Amino acid sequence: MPTTQFDKESIKQSIIGKLQRYNGRTVQEASEQQIYKAVASTVRDQIMQKFTIARDERKNNKSKRLYYLSVEYLMGRSMYCNMLNLVSTDEYRQALKELGINLDDILKEEPEPGLGNGGLGRLAACFLDSLASLDLPAMGCTIRYEYGLFRQKIVDGQQVELPDSWLENGNVWEMPVMEDACEVHFGGHVDISEEDGKQKFIHRDYYTVEAVPYDMPIVGYNTSTVNTLRTWSARSKKRIDLSSFGQGKYAQASEEIELAEVISKVLYPEDNHYEGKMLRLKQHYFFTSATLQYIIKDFKKLHGANWALFPDKVCIHINDTHPGLAIPELMRLLMDEEGLGWDEAADICQKTFAYTNHTIMAEALEKWPEAMVRQQLPRIFMILEELNRRLCKDLWDAFPGEWERIGQMAIISYGQVHMANLCIAMSHSVNGVSQLHGDILKEETFHDYNLVSPEKFSAITNGITHRRWLMSCNPKLTSLICDTIGTDWIREPEQLSALTPYAEDKAFREKFAKIKQENKQRLVKLVKNRQNIDVDPTFVFDVQSKRLHEYKRQMLNALHILVLYNRIVSDDSFTMEPRAFFFGAKASPGYYRAKQIIRFINGLARLIDNHPRARKFLKVVFLENYDVSTAEVLIPASEISEQLSTASKEASGTGNMKFMMNGAVTIGTMDGANV
């Protein structure tokens, strides 16, 4: 394989050529945004060369592929991690230097795709990086939200939400794949007829939304694998019809287009919380139906209609219950479109689906009103009813007469569709995201399911990619580690344990401390530039950054700071190691108490700043707009990591791991992956 003709010289020529052809500018005349695009599309060209080879290989090998379905992917910026995974950072840095361009300035021009709320979406993104780096064929599937998670401003100490129009300047990394566009149907009714003694189900009077996929390549670290993140965009089938323009009906024509396209307009901003809004149900069905149609099409292309082979070639992973409608959708496609019988279709589903549970919090358990599902997805609802009927029959045999218990375990009961029960009943694997969380699922949340199918349950602790959360965000610490123990840990991060003896090594510790100090300076600069706040880099940096939630207990941290403040102001002899507390957190716009906690933290910051003795020992910074890019500067600068969740509530946490990986000391409760 020709590894690359992307050496320093050809990278330079590519950038110069692109600026010339697309912008009619020289490097000196071009804006930073134009240079960003020229560099990014050079990186993309390099990826595409691998991608073509990888795609041909998949066609020949016909190996099994994982489809990871998630309503959120919190990817962060791509350019630097792509260079890193191509093992080309030195070439790009050098090429740009010779063109008089500073790479770090250009990286900031990339808008961050914030297609996720917090941990669940970031986990999906980390998994994609790891799958490609482990040479495992996988496709991530999600919604191409036109507006990702809101941008947060702090005005007079309070959160203000601004729209995140991340696609405004185009997206270098994605390509539309028109040949895989398909239709998704909503509403209408189902006619049942008989043909050759078999029931036929015909969906009529539905309305159609077109699903258009955009693919983003996912490169593995120093591997030949290039996987894909496929994002589905909703389009109206109706094009503006010029005759209705002539009849003065253009407003009506555009309204119908708007209605269809609103499906992929915006990400719901709630983390660990679910709301039974109809638009959200439509979003879920929209992207799972489009994905399943594609999976079937691709399977048939590679293997024909050999359905028995399906579970050996396809694995569908459901990231929390949001994509759970993929289950009845696969049943529908196999039966109504491909002519399989119920038992065969149900067996394929069981063998194909795997489900990860992310939380035990009651307000996050997804349930849909029966009437809403019946009205919007009539055929899917019929399938859910039949799945439920058969499930309840089996449960009756296991628990005769125990209506209460069966109602708790049913797919449909008390007027609602219970997505978690659907996912557990129809998957072969159900995992919790840490040992503690897995145990709680078995012993409490899904206790009765564990009695009937104990073999399904397991605990698989979440993880993070050290390529983004160490190598990319902390290059200095990365060099120190390589100088100390070599580079094996890059392929096998377990090898980081070889650092253990250096905990007591004076020279190593001095180098480590120096790097921490430089990373603190980098954060101090960011805070000054963004929010015009001065922070003394000699203070201990104590950080709590994650979504704002009562269970995560930012309030507990804030109250501790208030206690310290009270001690300082009431006792002139009190002294302490000066400490700067950083908070980074978005609150869901409708979560009143979370927003009041942000207000409280900002009030505390002002209280301290206004007290001449308190500000010698304490500083509070509320960092605006916490996102992946902010985390990449904040975490390497941290010395204390606050992981204070009410024990049992944080199923795993992944922020905790990022801080540890960057050498912060954890203050935490025995919860999730902290354990």
Burial class of residue 374, CB neighbours in 10 A (0-12, 13-18, 19+): middle
Per annotation, catalytic residue among 552, 595, 619, 649: 552
Per annotation, catalytic residue among 547, 549, 595, 649: 547
Q: Report in angstroms how near the CB of residue 546 gets to ligand PLP at its nearest.
A: 3
Q: Report in angstroms how near the CB of residue 116 gets to ligand PLP at its nearest.
A: 8
Q: Which region among 114-122, 146-154, 519-527, 570-578 touches ligand PLP (by CB under 6 A)?
A: 114-122
CA distances 80 to 40, 392, 629, Å, are: 9, 52, 11
Ramachandran category for residue 321: left, alpha or beta (phi over 0 → left; psi -120 to 50 → alpha): alpha
119 is an interface residue for ligand PLP by CB under 6 A? yes
Phi and psi, residue 608, nearest 5° = -70, -45
Reference 174, options 229, 219, 142, 214; nearest CA is 214
Residue selected from 654, 663, 664, 671 as contacting ligand PLP according to rule CB under 6 A = 654
- State which residue has the least CB distance to ligand PLP: 655
149 is an interface residue for ligand PLP by CB under 6 A? no
467 is an interface residue for ligand PLP by CB under 6 A? no
Q: Report in angstroms how near the CB of residue 616 gets to ligand PLP at its nearest.
A: 30
CB contact set of 325 (below 8 Å; sequence gap of 6+): 284, 285, 288, 289, 377, 380
Rounded CA separation 148/115 (Å): 5
Q: Which region among 246-254, 362-370, 372-380, 623-631 touches ligand PLP (by CB under 6 A)?
A: 623-631
Residue selected from 631, 644, 661, 664 as contacting ligand PLP according to rule CB under 6 A = 631
122 is an interface residue for ligand PLP by CB under 6 A? yes
Q: Is 511 a catalytic residue?
A: no
Q: Report in angstroms how near the CB of residue 123 gets to ligand PLP at its nearest.
A: 8
Burial class of residue 191, CB neighbours in 10 A (0-12, 13-18, 19+): exposed
CA distances 592 to 489, 549, 586, 588, 595, Å, are: 45, 11, 12, 8, 5
- Please list every residue from 511 through 550 that binds ligand PLP, using CB under 6 A: 546-547
421 is an interface residue for ligand PLP by CB under 6 A? no
Q: Report in angstroms how near the CB of residue 669 gets to ligand PLP at its nearest.
A: 12
Per the listing, tokens 């890019």 go with 629
118 is an interface residue for ligand PLP by CB under 6 A? yes
- From residue 583 to residue 622, the character string flagging contacts with ligand PLP as x (rule: CB under 6 A) and all else as - is ----------------------------------------
Q: Looking at residue 118, what DSSP letter applies?
A: S
Q: Report in angstroms how near the CB of residue 145 gets to ligand PLP at its nearest.
A: 16
Per annotation, catalytic residue among 89, 445, 465, 654: 654
Q: Which is nearer to ligand PLP, 119 or 220 (CB)?
A: 119
Per annotation, catalytic residue among 546, 549, 553, 586: 546
Q: Is 461 a catalytic residue?
A: no
Q: Which is nearer to ligand PLP, 376 or 545 (CB)?
A: 545
Q: Report in angstroms how near the CB of residue 150 gets to ligand PLP at its nearest.
A: 13
Burial class of residue 131, CB neighbours in 10 A (0-12, 13-18, 19+): buried
Q: Which is nearer to ligand PLP, 114 or 311 (CB)?
A: 114
Reference 668, options 646, 651, 649; nearest CA is 646
Q: Report in angstroms how near the CB of residue 643 gets to ligand PLP at its nearest.
A: 7
Q: Which two tokens stand for residue 242?
A: 């010029």
Q: Which residues pair with 209 in a beta bridge?
A: 184, 236
Other Cβ atoms less than 10 A from the Cβ of 24: the count is 9
- Cβ contact 591:548 at 8 Å: yes
- Cβ contact 423:355 at 8 Å: yes
Q: What is the rounded (10 degree) CA torsion for 428, 430, 434, 440?
A: -130
Q: Is 552 a catalytic residue?
A: yes
129 is an interface residue for ligand PLP by CB under 6 A? no
Q: Report in angstroms how near the CB of residue 322 gets to ligand PLP at its nearest.
A: 17
The H or E element spanning position 618 is: strand 618-623
628 is an interface residue for ligand PLP by CB under 6 A? yes
Q: Which region among 232-240, 475-483, 533-541, 651-659 touches ligand PLP (by CB under 6 A)?
A: 651-659
- Cβ contact 133:223 at 8 Å: yes
627 is an interface residue for ligand PLP by CB under 6 A? yes
CA distances 99 to 35, 92, 638, Å, are: 11, 11, 34
Q: Is 669 a catalytic residue?
A: no
Q: Which is nearer to ligand PLP, 450 or 641 (CB)?
A: 641
The H or E element spanning position 121 is: helix 119-133
Q: Report in angstroms how near the CB of residue 464 gets to ligand PLP at its nearest.
A: 7
Rounded CA separation 488/355 (Å): 33
Per annotation, catalytic residue among 358, 379, 520, 619: 358
Rounded CA separation 159/593 (Å): 12
Q: Is 393 a catalytic residue?
A: no
Q: Is 466 a catalytic residue?
A: no
Q: Which is nearer to ligand PLP, 118 or 663 (CB)?
A: 118
Q: Which is nearer to ligand PLP, 450 or 656 (CB)?
A: 656
Per the listing, tokens 């392929």 go with 491
Q: Give the largest Cα separation in the chain, rounded.
A: 93
Q: How many residues bind ligand PLP (CB under 6 A)?
A: 13
Residue selected from 148, 323, 438, 653 as contacting ligand PLP according to rule CB under 6 A = 653
Q: Which is nearer to ligand PLP, 424 or 585 (CB)?
A: 585
Phi and psi, residue 319, nearest 5° = -85, 100
Q: Which two tokens stand for residue 297?
A: 């099409």
Q: Which is nearer to ligand PLP, 581 or 626 (CB)?
A: 626
- Cβ contact 409:421 at 8 Å: yes
Q: Report in angstroms how near the CB of residue 131 gets to ligand PLP at its nearest.
A: 18
Terminal Cα-to-Cα distance of the chain (whole angstroms): 45
Q: Which region among 61-69, 209-217, 493-501, 649-657 touches ligand PLP (by CB under 6 A)?
A: 649-657
Which residue ranges make up the site for ligand PLP (CB under 6 A)? 118-119, 122, 546-547, 626-628, 631, 653-655, 658
Catalytic positions: 358, 546-547, 552, 654, 658
